[in-house]
């Protein structure tokens, strides 16, 4: 019976580690604020500098909701008054009024976030599938499937990162014009987490291609059945010939 990581041990270990890291990053972003409050896509901040205040100075937008935060300098001293989790949310007027912003401004952000709500879980799901199939590198067919899923996950994470980046840049320009410079839009940490997941996923795809395509020093041995792993050898002309191990 085939051991999942018995063959191509180095390639399997590297690819599994990379895909696991990518999946964790994408999963955290997919269940970001208000479920995981420290992780958010973008923030709408007041440009008026305050030293101490009990009034919210920032709105943080996640995939599933929005939270008002009291920020002094670059550090959030409190995150409260959250709305969500909800599918396709709108910022309540009461929450927007905490930082003195109009519903017109918040509607610009929430319309685009509805698209991102769908893309983030899809990218995380594809990453999980590629991680699962990368555990069975003994089978050449499964390794090809893992490579295909890793490429699809890399494409999905690239699209998500581009969408996050475009959202912040476009929203920053529109909000600046509507609020006459009193508010600005800044990147959240979720954008950089998606970037890291994208880079890691593409690197994992390169590693998986070495196994699936027999390149980068990985070669198929003569008369070796790639879908059946027998560490003691295979039958040949009535006897057993040792195939050895390959790492």
The one-character DSSP state at 188 is -
Note the pLDDT of residue 221: 46
Tell me the pLDDT tens digit for each residue of 10-19: 778 888 999 9
Placement of tokens 């994208």 in the chain: 198
Note the pLDDT of residue 112: 66
Note the pLDDT of residue 180: 64
Top-level class of domain 9-212: mainly alpha
Is the distance from CB of 98 to CB of 55 less than 8 angstroms?
yes
Q: Is residue 147 scored above 80 in pLDDT?
A: yes
Q: What is the dihedral of CA 4, 121, 57, 183, to 10 degrees?
A: 120
Note the pLDDT of residue 23: 96
Tokens of 144: 């090809």
Q: Which residues contact 149 (CB under 8 A, 6 or more apart)?
A: 126, 129, 130, 133
Cα angle for residues 184, 190, 193 (degrees, 5° grid): 135
Tokens of 128: 């999980």
Tell me the pLDDT tens digit for each residue of 17-32: 999 999 999 999 999 8
Does residue 3 or residue 159 have the better pLDDT?
Answer: 159
Note the pLDDT of residue 244: 44
Query: How many Cα atoms occupy the beta-carbon half-sphere of 221 within 13 Å?
Result: 16
Q: In the chain, count H helices and then E strands.
A: 5, 7
Q: What is the mean pLDDT of residues 70-80?
A: 60
Per residue, the 3-state secondary structure of 11-27, as one string, reads HHHHHHHHHHHHHHHHH
Tell me the pLDDT tens digit for each residue of 153-212: 999 999 999 988 988 888 887 777 766 667 788 899 999 999 999 999 999 999 888 876
Q: What is the DSSP string of 202-219?
A: HHHHHHHHHHHTT-TT--
Note the pLDDT of residue 166: 86
Does residue 50 or residue 37 have the better pLDDT?
Answer: 37
Q: What is the mean pLDDT of residues 115-144?
A: 86
Torsional sign, CA 69, 71, 74, 79: negative
Q: Locate the domains of the chain by residue range.
A: 9-212
Tell me the pLDDT tens digit for each residue of 211-246: 766 554 445 543 344 444 444 444 444 444 444 444
E strands along the chain, which residues? 42-46, 58-61, 66-72, 75-83, 183-187, 234-236, 239-241
Note the pLDDT of residue 142: 84
Average pLDDT, the chain: 76
């Amino acid at each position: 019976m085939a051991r999942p990581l018995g063959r191509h041990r180095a390639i399997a270990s590297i690819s599994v580690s990379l895909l696991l890291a990518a999946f964790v990053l994408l999963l955290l972003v997919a269940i970001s604020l208000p479920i995981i409050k420290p992780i958010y896509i973008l923030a709408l901040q007041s440009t008026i500098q305050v030293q101490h205040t009990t009034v919210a100075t920032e709105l943080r937008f996640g995939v599933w909701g929005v939270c008002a935060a009291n920020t002094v300098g670059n550090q959030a001293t409190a995150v409260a008054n959250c709305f969500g989790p909800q599918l396709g949310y709108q910022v309540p007027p009461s929450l927007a009024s905490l930082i003195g912003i109009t519903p017109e401004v918040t509607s610009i952000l929430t319309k685009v976030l509805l698209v991102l709500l769908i893309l983030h879980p899809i990218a995380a799901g594809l990453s999980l599938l590629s991680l699962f199939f990368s555990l069975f590198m003994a089978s050449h067919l499964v390794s090809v499937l893992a490579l295909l899923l890793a490429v699809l996950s890399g494409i999905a994470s690239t699209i998500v990162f581009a969408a996050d980046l475009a959202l912040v840049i476009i929203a920053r320009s529109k909000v600046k014009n509507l609020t006459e410079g009193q508010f600005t839009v800044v990147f959240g940490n979720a954008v950089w987490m998606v970037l890291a997941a994208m880079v890691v996923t593409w690197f994992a795809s390169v590693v998986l291609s070495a196994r699936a395509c027999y390149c980068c020093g990985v070669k198929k041995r003569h008369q070796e059945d790639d879908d059946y792993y027998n560490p003691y050898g295979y039958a040949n002309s009535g006897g057993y010939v040792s195939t050895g191990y390959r790492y």
